[in-house]
């Protein structure tokens, strides 16, 4: 839109375009396939300077898009003299048409005004930036404004989604990724882009990188074995025995091949599995510790906090509450 501001527009474009891709590049996990085909679309498709003066180069005009799965209206810079009922007729017709074809229609911040002007929010709950709640309610009295909410799904099949302030595009992106792909992908995206509460630094988001390539067949076989048996007692001693090498020789070759000491490698595998269990399940921390090979839950908690910067309970709370699907 001519009134669009760039932060949410380009932020959403980057995060949604790279969902499913960057995680694989950083960790080696997954297929590395983009989950969304994203485009910036405007009424006429021509480049323009947005409300903040920055250039925006749309990739298509609305007339080029016959059908889409999702539409997101980024936040708009509004002025007091705007006729919010009469403005944007062509775009409103297109959005209503796409909604009738089954599209999910979303807004960020003051983008809710456009959806309200299109009639999509009549008799529905919606949210907007706290400073614009009065404007939305006064101009469109049939909208049930929820100023306390960040994400508000509404309408048939929850195909209308409004989000609060300008930075709520982050919450919206994670919501859509979780809803349209999986919670796992949403959490991965949050970790890649450090979305959410960053008050405890970035250690809670960090993950084990992709395995280092090397030509040591004995160490590679031990890596494969420990990946399935890291919960066993004394896994390093068992790897030494499997390798047929002297202990000092094994440890030296393991470090050279992987970049980890054998014990550090085992601990890293265990902590990564603990993260997955905390993100996806409700099992008690003591039970998780035991399942990973830690007889002393207190030691596990200390190690977990050292590695992640937070406690297991706080880690679970952080990532279970991050995704609102």
Q: Are residues 64 and 164 in the same domain?
A: yes
pLDDT-derived band at 323, boundaries 50, 70, 90:
low
How confident is the model at residue 221, as a pLDDT? Answer: 96
Q: How far is CA 194 from CA 109, 180, 206, 218, 300, in A?
A: 21, 20, 9, 37, 25
DSSP secondary structure string, 102-150? T-EEEEEGGGHHHHHHTTTTTTSEE---GGGHHHHHHH-TTSEE-TT-S
| CB count in 10 Å sphere of residue 310 | 18
pLDDT-derived band at 99, boundaries 50, 70, 90:
very high
Ramachandran angles phi, psi of 92, nearest 5°: -60, -40
What CATH number is attached to the domain comprising 225?
Answer: 1.10.10.60
The reply to whether 302 falls in a domain is yes
CA separation for the pair 237, 12 (Å, rounded): 48
Q: Are residues 122 and 181 in the same domain?
A: yes
How confident is the model at residue 319, as a pLDDT? Answer: 84
- Give the torsion through C-alpha atoms of 124, 130, 131, 136, to 10 deg: 0
pLDDT digits (tens, 9 = 90+) for 37-83: 999 999 999 999 988 889 999 999 999 999 999 999 999 999 888 89
> CB of 203 within 8 A of CB of 309?
yes
The reply to whether 112 falls in a domain is yes
CA separation for the pair 297, 145 (Å, rounded): 47
- Residue 285 in this model has a pLDDT that exceeds 60: yes
CA separation for the pair 112, 16 (Å, rounded): 20
Handedness of CA 41, 46, 52, 55 (dihedral sign): positive
DSSP secondary structure string, 64-98? G-S--SEEEE--B---TT--TTTS-HHHHHHHHHH
User: Nearest Cα to 51, choosing from 72, 88, 87, 77?
Assistant: 77
Q: Are residues 88 and 187 in the same domain?
A: yes
Q: Are residues 172 and 239 in the same domain?
A: no
The reply to whether 293 falls in a domain is yes
Q: Are residues 139 and 287 in the same domain?
A: no
pLDDT digits (tens, 9 = 90+) for 120-164: 999 999 999 999 999 999 999 999 999 999 999 999 999 999 999
**Domain membership of residue 226 as a residue range:** 217-322
Query: How many distinct structural domains can be found in the chain?
Result: 2
The reply to whether 287 falls in a domain is yes
Q: Are residues 168 and 80 in the same domain?
A: yes
Q: Are residues 124 and 246 in the same domain?
A: no
The reply to whether 107 falls in a domain is yes
Ramachandran angles phi, psi of 63, nearest 5°: -70, -20
What CATH number is attached to the domain comprising 52?
Answer: 3.40.50.880
The reply to whether 204 falls in a domain is no
């Amino acid at each position: 839109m001519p009134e669009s501001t760039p932060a949410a527009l380009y932020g959403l474009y980057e995060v949604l375009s790279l969902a499913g891709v960057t995680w694989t590049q950083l960790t080696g996990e997954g297929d590395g396939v983009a989950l969304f085909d994203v485009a910036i679309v405007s009424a006429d498709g021509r480049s323009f300077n947005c409300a903040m003066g920055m250039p925006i180069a749309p990739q298509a005009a609305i007339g080029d898009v016959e059908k889409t799965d999702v539409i997101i209206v980024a936040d708009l810079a509004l002025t007091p003299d705007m006729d919010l009922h009469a403005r944007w007729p062509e775009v409103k017709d297109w959005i209503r048409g796409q909604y009738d074809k089954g599209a999910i229609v979303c807004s960020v911040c003051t983008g809710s005004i456009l959806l309200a002007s299109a009639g999509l929010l009549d008799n529905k709950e919606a949210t907007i930036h706290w400073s614009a709640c009065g404007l939305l309610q006064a101009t469109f009295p049939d909208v049930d404004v929820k100023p306390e909410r960040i994400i508000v799904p509404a309408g048939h099949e929850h195909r209308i989604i409004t989000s609060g302030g300008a930075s709520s595009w982050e919450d919206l992106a994670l919501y859509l990724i979780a809803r349209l792909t999986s919670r796992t992908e949403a959490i991965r995206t949050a970790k890649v882009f450090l979305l959410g509460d960053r008050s405890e630094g970035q250690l809670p988001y960090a993950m084990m990188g992709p395995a280092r390539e090397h030509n040591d067949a004995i160490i590679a076989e031990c890596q494969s074995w420990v990946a399935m048996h890291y919960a066993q007692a004394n896994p390093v001693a068992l790897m030494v025995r499997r390798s047929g090498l002297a202990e000092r020789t094994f440890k030296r070759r393991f470090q050279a091949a992987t970049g980890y000491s054998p014990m550090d490698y085992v601990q890293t595998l265990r902590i990564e599995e603990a993260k997955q269990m905390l993100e996806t399940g409700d099992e008690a921390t003591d039970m998780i510790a035991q399942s990973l090979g830690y007889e002393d839950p207190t030691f596990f908690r200390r190690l977990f906090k050292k590695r992640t910067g937070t406690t297991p309970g706080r880690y679970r709370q952080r990532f279970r509450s991050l995704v609102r699907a």
